[in-house]
Structure 1
Amino acid sequence: MVNIILTGATGLLGRNLLFEILKQNINHLDNLKIFTFIRCQEPNSLSKRIQDIIANDGCDYLGLTDSSCEKLTQCIIPIYYDLTQTQLGISLDDLCKLKAEKIDYFFHVAALTDLRKGALIEESCLAINLTGTKRILQLAESLNICEFVYVSTVYACGKITGLVEPGYINVDNKFRNPYEKSKVKAEILVKEYAKESRIKYKIFRTSVICGRLMEKRIGSVSKFDVLYGTGAFFVRQKLNRLKSVNELFSKTLEIPTRMQINYNAGLNIVPVDYAAKMIYGACLLDDNTINYHIANSKCTLHKLYISWMLEAINIVGYSFIEKEPKNKNQVEKFYYKTVGKIFMPYITSEHIEFKVDNLKKIEEKMNIKCPQINQENFLHLMNFAKDNYFGLDITQ
């Protein structure tokens, strides 16, 4: 019997990890239990949320029909929880269910990914990513856990340059935002817990996650933020001018915008399905490695992927510059106050690489390679984003 706890199952990485676990155990679902921790305003709707995720996204990933996918939910046990509540708000009945099992893997994926700055943002990040993780670890301590798995970010290293080792930690570094610092502090908590409990653990630092490039539906994401933020900004600008969605992507529109970037640096982008496969695959490999970068072997230059994105949505008139312009037009003023303000710390940073040598043996075992983020693959991502209007609430 394989028993798994998974937080963040409704999020982008969490749901794909759920699908991958199901896929790897598809022939013996009777011997699988996945306790999915879900935060939901109406606890009674937990099962429906899981059913919707499986039906609307999981069936594609698993290559199954709707009727076949119904059977999958039988091994998924939803548990209501809240990272901001004392003892996670888990009911006594649910706690008894968890304590009755030997848990093979406890995957803590849930997090607040907010790249903004400010006191309120810092407070929220610390409450969910740090204090919330502390509560998760307190729960884990009361259970029979074989291995604890924490998902972090490659940017937990802070503002450094060059080649970064997967286990590098320095809380005295400068960080781009409170999110990054909250994640590295949570990593330290996990390490301390594992040492005191003498329990196996792994920490996976993921790079910037994009849509699927290995499993169907290609390009699929459940939310359009971070990487997709610039595209969403310009789609909205275009819609404001065209006043209709009929020619939103087919018509070329000039929107003069000077964007500050580092010409010689790029973004490390990793497909979400690859990330899910590597996280679960590393656990199945069962070696003594603790720290991993779930990242691509190569970064994609900012000037390339931003150009591909704007070409995909038929925007012209943009340009890249090394310094923020002083005399901004109206679009530029809005850009630098919103999406530019959030992402400038990343797209203007010096070149950074993340060491991924320890992924090779997992790739060999899984017989997979990380899809490169070239123009062809990036256009697959953009096609899905366009089909869903980059997540914007657009009515015909």
Structure 2
Amino acid sequence: MNILLTGATGTLGSQVLFCLLEEKFDTINRIYLPVREKKALSPMARILGMLESGFTPEFIQTNRNELLDKINVVCAKDILNPERFLEGVRITHFIHSAGFVNLSTLPEAKEDIFKKNYAFTKSIFEAYAHCIDKFIYISTAFSAGNIGGIMDNDYLTSSPNSHRNHYEASKFATEQYLVSIGKVKDIPVQILRPSVLGGNILKTPSLFISKYKVFYLFAKFFHGNTTKGRVRITAHKDSGLNIIPVDYAAKVITTVFDKDITQLNIVHSKTTHINSGIKKILAAVAFDNFSLTHEIIDQKSGFESKLEQFYYKTIGVHLTPYLTSKPCEWDTTLLQQILPIPEYNLENYLRDTIHFAKEQGFKDQRW
């Protein structure tokens, strides 16, 4: 098979690449990786830096040269011009893992978010429709919006109108477009939806994740402000955090991308209670000057400290819609049949991921 994987240097994409190389090595002819230049590093230098990192699985480090023989690194500027690098090769599986994560709710942010998620994916599909056999889109488990209740794998037979931000809406719109155009072009489309990503649970190094986002940013914010005033955190007692280890998500993707499955949510069967989860995170960064409230804290209600005001002007704007989400649970029957979710204590895992991030200084990998 010939695979094209976007987002190979990203949080999930890098783990998908590692899994593909380790578990599908014998069946892969070529794997194409469109990569951007970054801070004077060429696309190839970035991939080499990633493969040579001490955080890569042992199989990758041991077999690096053999693996490189199957990798074609492509300058991301050529992503919409496949004829420049494919040289007549047909892509059997196009895995689109690259995405623009921006949880802004500002009206002026909508156009940019839709451009980088919906419009860009549309352009990619149009550019490759003549030379691909299957298109796999990595979406998000939250693309259905804040609807609550039991969430099954089929988001596409309903029309959610309760998205918490433009990011969710852009991912859902992209899913709808791809499934529709796939039928027109007679190209199978697969939608895979990971939940919030946390550190490794299956592979070593344990708890590793290449970029610290979402709940890590919540921890980082308070870790750097432990003596700057009290903060009231708006959170609903019935809400929950659904976090899935990044290596497990990647392994599921590698297991199903060549299977006849149209939609699959890659989520944990259980959620961490929002109140206990927040307490675990803040205890891990030694911040105890807080309280949890159902009240909406904003300019109208007034702020009790400069830190509280800063919180609600920065990450609080993006995270509060999730901390106050309707309670829901995902039906993981199909997921468990594909790859059973590892058993571990959710709260201890959450605590340990933050401790690991602290040890790393909350610094993303620079590859």
TM-score (norm 2): 0.91
Q: Distance in 1 between matches of 2:356 and 2:41?
A: 32
Query: What's the CA shift for 1:381?
Result: 1.0
Unaligned 5+ segments in structure 2 are none
As a proportion of its length, which structure holds more helix?
1
Q: Which residue of 1 aligns with 2:310?
A: 334
What is the deviation of 1:182? 0.6
Name which of 76, 80, 84 aligns with 1:81: 76
Residue 250 (structure 2) aligns with: 276
Deviation at 1:44, TM superposition (A): 7.6
Distance in 2 (CA, whole Å) between partners of 1:40 and 1:257 is 40
Contact 2:138 2:193 in 1 (8 A): yes
* Cross-structure match for 2:84: 93
2:185 alignment counterpart: 197
When structure 1 is superposed on structure 2, of 45-54 and 165-174 the one drifting more is 165-174
> Does residue 377 in structure 1 map to residue 365 in structure 2?
no
Offset at residue 79 of structure 1 (A)? 1.4
Using the alignment, how far apart are the partners of 1:376 and 1:41 within structure 2?
A: 36
2:34 aligns to what? 37
After superposition, the Cα gap between the structure-2 partners of 1:58 and 1:196, relative to the gap in structure 1 and judged at 3 Å, is farther
Q: 1:69 to 1:120 in 2, by over 3 A?
A: farther
Secondary structure of the residue aligned to 1:49 is helix
Q: 2:247 and 2:324 mapped to 1: Cα distance? A: 28
Equivalenced residues, count: 360
Distance 1:123 1:57 in 2: 39
Q: The residue matched to 2:33 in structure 1 has which SS?
A: strand
Alignment of 1:247-266 (within 5 A): 255-266=229-240
TM-score (norm 1): 0.84
* Equivalent position of 1:228 in the other structure: 216
Contact 1:171 1:185 in 2 (8 A): no
Matches of 1:319 and 1:213, distance apart in 2: 31
**Correspondence for 1:357 among 333, 342, 347:** 333
What displacement does 1:380 show? 2.8
RMSD: 2.4
Q: What is the distance in 2 between the residues matched to 1:352 and 1:273?
A: 24
Return closer, same or farther for 1:314/1:44 CA change in 2, 3 Å cut-off: closer
Q: Percent identity?
A: 28
Partners of 1:308 and 1:230 in 2: how far apart?
Answer: 12
Structure 1 match to 2:140 = 153
Larger displacement relative to structure 2 (49-58 or 121-130): 49-58
Pair 1:70–1:357, CA change in 2 (3 A)? same
Q: Deviations over 1:292-343 (max 9, x none)?
A: 1100001111112221111111222222111135342111111111111110
Distance 1:113-1:3 versus aligned 2 partners, 3 A rule:
same
Shift in Å, 1:392: 8.2
Look up the equivalent residue of 2:350 and give its one-letter code: F
Q: Which runs of 4+ in 1 moved over 4 A?
A: 41-44
State the shift of 1:372 in Å: 4.3
Q: How does 1:161-180 map to 2 (within 5 A)?
A: 161-169=148-156, 170-171=158-159, 173-180=161-168
- Separation in 2 of the partners of 1:385 and 1:221? 9
